[in-house]
Amino acid sequence: MITTPAIEVKNLTVGYGSNILLQNLNFTVNSGEIFVILGGSGCGKSSLLTNLNGLHQPLAGDVLIEGQNITTAVGAERQKIMTSFGMMYQQGALFGSMNLLDNVTLFMEEYTQLTQAQMQLLARCKLDLVGLLPYESYMPNEISGGMQKRAAIARAMALDPKILFLDEPSAGLDPITSADLDSTILDLSKNLGFTFVVVSHELASIYAIADKVIMLDKQTKSIIAEGDPKVLRDTSPDPRVHQFFNRIMSKEVA
């Protein structure tokens, strides 16, 4: 059986006006995979993510989400593609003036015809999946940084997407909280079959969750490595890749 990839990227050029960050990228994210985008600071990881999720238009090329071209889609067709994925941004993920339950129901109110009771029931399911059901009435500033990240994942799941984009989920978290978040991501992947596309430069997290990575390079504006991160760490002949993956002692990541 041939399954449509979750995401197909074809000849994609990412940048802003005349500032080209990444050129002619080609890669595929398979359904159910945890796919990690990595690379040095400023190489264009977050920009690539905003081209994949339709927030910014690529300078050239196409992005297909479950076979549908988000780059060319307009109107209702585009809206349909946009609701097939959820997004967790690096900064300010939650609305500070709403409790966690309202943060999750917000998108349902905008995009569905469900009753309040139905929305709340579904939102409680999402909060439960990330371990936050007892905190549904808490405000974002009343919970820890790690809990805020998990609440943001619950909110990204509000419309039952198949794909979740996470921009630097571990940023600002201590190693133990970060490992907890990795467990949540792995659970959601294993139990519910989500496809994750994650921007990260945290090696411990990359080794813990990634099925596949692509490594971006600022100088060549291209993908310089692709595959299983542990295999790349142990076998890549490319010094840039070797240096990235061996920043910490191997015993920490074995």
Spatial distance between the Cα atoms of 98 and 143, rounded to a whole number of angstroms: 13
Q: What sign does the CA torsion over 173, 178, 180, 186 have?
A: positive
169 scored as a contact of ligand ATP (CB under 6 A): no
4, 11, 16, 118: which one contacts ligand ATP (CB under 6 A)?
16
Window of 40-48, 60-68, 111-119, 136-144 that interacts with ligand ATP by CB under 6 A = 40-48
Beta-sheet pairing, 163-167 with 195-199: parallel
Residue of 24, 46, 84, 246 interacting with ligand ATP (CB under 6 A)? 46
Stretch that binds ligand ATP, among 45-53, 98-106, 203-211, 234-242 (CB under 6 A): 45-53
Among 41, 97, 115, 219, binds ligand ATP (CB under 6 A): 41
- Piece of 37-45, 126-134, 158-166, 182-190 that binds ligand ATP (CB under 6 A): 37-45
Interface with ligand ATP, residue 47, by CB under 6 A: yes
Q: What share of the chain is helix, strand, coil (3-state, %, to 5)?
A: 40, 25, 35
DSSP tag of 96: T
- Binding ligand ATP (rule: CB under 6 A), the pick from 4, 11, 26, 42 is 42
Residues in the chain: 254
Q: Would you say 210 and 178 are in contact if contact means Cβ atoms under 8 Å apart?
A: no
Nearer to ligand ATP, 47 or 103 (CB): 47
Backbone angles phi, psi at 7, to 5 degrees: -140, 135
Q: Which residues bind ligand ATP (CB under 6 A)?
A: 16, 21, 39, 41-47
